[in-house]
Amino acid sequence: MISITNLQLGERSFTQEIKKVLRRIEHYHQGSIASFRILYPDSEGMGGELKWDGQNAEVLYPKD
């Protein structure tokens, strides 16, 4: 499991930067993280989840 926190230090939004962040994690991990569960807090402070296939990140919204 990977948990990512947006510190809001830059001008770009979390969704604009997520691919760069996930590629950097794969670089340090020295392999694919596509099978990992990737969590992040959304703008309301609730948990969100991302699906990563190595090139594209998809936001998975919680089901009601």
pLDDT, tens digit, 9 for 90 and up, residues 15-64: 678 888 899 999 999 999 999 999 887 666 677 888 999 998 888 876 65
Contacts of 41 (CB under 8 A, 6+ apart): 5, 6, 47, 48
Task: Give the other-Cβ count within 10 Å of 34's Cβ.
Answer: 13
Q: Give the pLDDT score at 51.
A: 92
Q: Give the pLDDT score at 42.
A: 65
Enter the pTM of the model. Answer: 0.74
